[in-house]
Chain A
């Protein structure tokens, strides 16, 4: 087989490309072999509320710790005082990719400090 005629630049590009391609294939192969395909698993965390002009904004961090992407995610946040539901807010997210996170905000008329804030992912599709 004849030896390819290449200059230093072409060899550099080739070596760099080989490293990139092999690294990517290796990473994917390891992932494909070691990780089982698990359904989406969403965790919701609420941050500290910010009050302004009579409304209270609460940041919600939605984290998908599952092995599949969740689509059309609906998250609800409820202010509860004992058994009583004081106020309810909802957040919709188009996608939360697997092992990734998305941030959104919900607003309340009541000060969240009055109650306990209960958050959960109500529904999502598996595309």
Chain B
């Protein structure tokens, strides 16, 4: 809490919630307006919704800890922030779904709850990113003077994972992923995987994207190679988690599952490598 006075004024906290709400809606609106996501909401069984919320909570913890505004915050404060973001996400998502007529008197409790919770997860992550990234620029200056103290390795992984989820979740629920996965041959899929790796390397090391050299200092070719591979691996993991959640693996053969992961791995790799640079504190 180095940036904030001991106890913030009510006006300060209102502004912070306002930024969070704006971020939450900006990042989640594509999903709030996607019918496959509503379907996923009422198709998902309670256990799957439960694990979804836990995964979202872990993502929020990771993101708030390593990329949030208050890097010196204790885990307790990080946990409090994450609960707030999840709770506000539920409320914001319920309000939006009501306004667009998805829930209301005509829906039963379970149907409404499923839809609200699925959307709430995305709103909550957007909330967290919005609070951290859309803040007043002056508060963040402090971190830039210390290039010799980069976010450590697990932190980088968490940020990469968040970026991948945030970007790939927009296309994951659509039918197109399955269509591409089923209709594309192994040769093309390999090409897609190589393309994903190449674009990650391009973003992370070769284009000074968002002044990349600040966060991914390149010393040896080996480091660049390892960094790219780790980013792609995290992207594939994120892709798998999202697809599993949207029920894209149910009843599919193993090679279709792999194909789907690779297909969604491309946007995930883009989001992961860009996120690692853009979502930094």
Asked if A17 and B83 make an inter-chain contact with CB atoms under 8 angstroms apart, the answer reads yes
Q: Say yes or no: is B86 at the interface (Cβ < 8 Å to chain A).
A: yes
Q: Say yes or no: is B105 at the interface (Cβ < 8 Å to chain A).
A: no
Asked if B45 and A32 make an inter-chain contact with CB atoms under 8 angstroms apart, the answer reads yes
If the complex has contacts A14-B80, A21-B83, A101-B108, are A69 and B90 also in contact, measured as CB distance less than 8 A? no
Q: Say yes or no: is A109 at the interface (Cβ < 8 Å to chain B).
A: no
Asked if A5 and B7 make an inter-chain contact with CB atoms under 8 angstroms apart, the answer reads yes
Annotate B51-95 by CB proximity to A: 1 below 8 A, 0 otherwise. Answer: 001000000000000000000001011001001111110110000
* CA of A32 to CA of B45, assembled, Å: 8
If the complex has contacts A6-B7, A7-B8, A16-B87, are A24 and B113 also in contact, measured as CB distance less than 8 A? yes
* CA of A19 to CA of B90, assembled, Å: 11
Q: How far is the CB of A95 from chain B (nearest CB, A)?
A: 7
Asked if A28 and B8 make an inter-chain contact with CB atoms under 8 angstroms apart, the answer reads no
Asked if A8 and B39 make an inter-chain contact with CB atoms under 8 angstroms apart, the answer reads no
Asked if B13 and A10 make an inter-chain contact with CB atoms under 8 angstroms apart, the answer reads yes
Annotate B17-57 by CB proximity to A: 1 below 8 A, 0 otherwise. Answer: 10000000000000000000001001101110110010000
Q: Say yes or no: is B210 at the interface (Cβ < 8 Å to chain A).
A: no
If the complex has contacts A5-B7, A9-B13, A127-B39, are A32 and B86 also in contact, measured as CB distance less than 8 A? no
Asked if B84 and A29 make an inter-chain contact with CB atoms under 8 angstroms apart, the answer reads no
Q: Say yes or no: is A18 at the interface (Cβ < 8 Å to chain B).
A: yes
Q: How large is the interface on B (under 10, 10 to 19, 20 to 34, 35 or more residues)?
A: 35 or more
Tell me the nearest residue of chain B to A8, going by C-beta.
B10
Q: Say yes or no: is A31 at the interface (Cβ < 8 Å to chain B).
A: yes
Asked if A1 and B110 make an inter-chain contact with CB atoms under 8 angstroms apart, the answer reads no
* CA of A68 to CA of B47, assembled, Å: 13
Contacting residues, chain B, for A32 (C-beta < 8 A): 45-47, 50
Given contacts A7-B9, A20-B87, 12 further A-B contacts (CB under 8 A): A1-B76, A4-B77, A5-B7, A6-B8, A10-B84, A13-B13, A17-B85, A21-B53, A24-B53, A97-B108, A100-B110, A127-B39
- Show 29 residue pairs from A and B whose CB-CB distance is below 8 angstroms, ordered by the A residue: A1-B76, A4-B1, A4-B74, A5-B7, A5-B8, A6-B7, A7-B9, A7-B10, A7-B13, A9-B10, A9-B14, A13-B87, A14-B83, A17-B87, A20-B86, A20-B90, A20-B91, A21-B53, A21-B83, A21-B86, A25-B53, A28-B49, A29-B46, A68-B43, A68-B45, A97-B43, A97-B108, A98-B42, A100-B107
